[in-house]
Every structure is written in structure tokens, then in C-alpha cells.
Amino acid sequence: MVFAPAPLLTVTLEQQADAVELHLHPGGQGVWQARMITALGTPVTLCVALGGEVGGTLRKLLADEDVTVRAVERQAGSGWYVHDRRDGSRSEIADDPGTPMVRHEIDELYTVTLTEGLRAPVSILSGPAAPDVVDPDIYRRLATDLSANGGTVVADLSGAYLSAVVEGGVAVLKVSHEELLDDGLAEDDSVEALLAAGRRLQQQGAASVLISRAGEPALALLDGGKELLVHAPPLELAEHRGAGDSMTAGVASVLARGGDLQEAVRIGAAAGALNVTRHGLGTGRAEAVRELAERVRLTPVDEDEKDDEAEGEKE
């Protein structure tokens, strides 16, 4: 189950030779995660709130995705953005993340999400585009209630939402090093500081923590004490956005079919690596992810530190 309370209508302009193309898709973190999970062969139920003309369009577009959609009706309109990629880079023309959800909408969405989460072996809690659209407490409650009833909760969040799910308790927390710095959870971007931040999050309620580091190897602090560097295979960048969401999706898909944490990290790293080669967010082929996963290296952090020290002594 993927909790995606406030999906977005994404409108993108692209230039192909002499023609301008208009791309219209459902988007937002949870939608991109669900898309990748589906590509990896795992059935997904997406729990969303939709409203207004934009919400009606999203409902129709989501029907074309290979997911089961449980939608709650909103009084206010859903969010959207318009991006221009005609020159090869992405520039924002306009956007509206949506208005804050009201209490009765949150209550209804919570009930639907809890129901589907109890039916699923793994639940992903994904965030909205803006921090004021959804009350963070719904994340704490979902993390608490799903975990207490035997569910495996995976979260990919920052800010108040991260604090909320950690308080509720999660099996896997994925976070970027930029988010740790922005939230004041890490002193700097060194491996030592990021590991210290990850350990604190484990003490607070995250059993395992996965820290992405842009082009650098990710850090995996696994339940049980293992701390690993995750070396993804090098691939040329086409679009960096969505790599972290694909990583989270890969982890969740493996856990949903009963795989272990190290396999989940490998598949997650491979899915994230593949995503950067594509313009479509949360897209890819399962066969490519499996092939790349064979090339993902997991090395203990302390061994890498020893190797670095040895290189320094040689120099």
C-alpha cells in the first residue's frame, strides 16, 4: 500500500526535433513510487485524496496506471505543476501544491489507508509537495497503528513528517543527506556525521535507515547493527529527480515479497540508478533493475575507511 495523500497533475513541455510535446501525467512522490513498484512486479494499492477539476483529471489518469486506486473526495482542488524542458533543463512555469486538507477529509483518508495498509504486507508513507497540505500527525498515527498490527512500514519523508513517522515507528526510513542537513539532523555531509544522524534516528524509532547521497554511495544502517556503503553502478544522468523515490520503491517491493534487507537495499539502489537514465519519473523495467542489482556492491563502512587510510598512507 502506498499512502499518497496529495498527488499532483504534472504538465511538462518537451522539444523533440521541430515538434513541441505536451506530457500530462499523475505525479508526486507516492505516485512515482507506486509506478516503480508496479514495474518491479509487485501489486500496489494507492490511497489518495482528489478534488476539483484537477482531481477529476487525476482520477482518469490514475485509472490508466497499473495500480488499484482508493480515492477520497476533497472539497478543494488537487495540486499541479507546469514545467518546461524544451531546452533540456527543467524550469518551473507555475505550480500549486493544493490547499490544506480539512479534518473530515483526513479522517476519511485515514480510515481508507488504514484498511488497505492492514491488508498489505508493506506500506509506504509518502509526503505531499508542500508541508502544510496534510497534518503530520496522520503519519504518526498510521506508522503506529500499522506497525502495531504486524505491518512493515517504509517511509521516505523529511521535516515534520519524518519526525512523525519516527515517533510512530518504521521498519525502514529513507532520507537524503540534503534533507538531514536542511532539518538540522546532521552536522555536515561527512560519512561520520551522517552515520551519527542515522543512529539517532534508529534510537528514536526507525529500525533501519537508508541515506542517499546524490552521486556518492548511499549509507545503509540496518536493523541489527550493520552499517554499509551502497555502491550503485555508474550510469549517465538524464534526470536526477525521482531517483530516491525509485530507491524506496525497490526496497519496499523486495520486502513485500519476503526478501531480506540486504537484497532490498540492492534492488533499491539499482532502481534508483536506472531512474536517472530516464526522463519519466518512477519508470523502468524489472529486467534492467535485476541486471543492475548484480552490480551493486555493499561494503562495510569500517572497511572502506580502512581502505581510504591505506590509500592516504601510500600517497
The answer on pLDDT for 281 being more than 80 is no
Residue 226 pLDDT greater than 90, yes or no: yes
User: Are the CB atoms for 182 and 162 separated by under 8 Å?
Assistant: no
Q: Assign residue 56 the CATH number of its domain.
A: 3.40.1190.20
Contact residues for 38 (Cβ-Cβ < 8 A; gap 6+): 44, 65, 66, 67
Handedness of CA 139, 154, 237, 278 (dihedral sign): negative
Contacts of 291 (CB under 8 A, 6+ apart): 270
* 3-state SS, residue 72: strand
Report the range of poorest mean pLDDT among 35-39, 60-64, 167-171, 242-246. 242-246
What is the average pLDDT score of the chain?
A: 90
Distances (CA, A) of 114 to 22, 134, 135, 281: 36, 16, 16, 27
Task: State the residue range of the domain holding 162.
Answer: 2-314
Q: How many domains does the chain have?
A: 1
pLDDT (0 to 100) of residue 201: 98
Contact 71, 1 (CB under 8 A): no
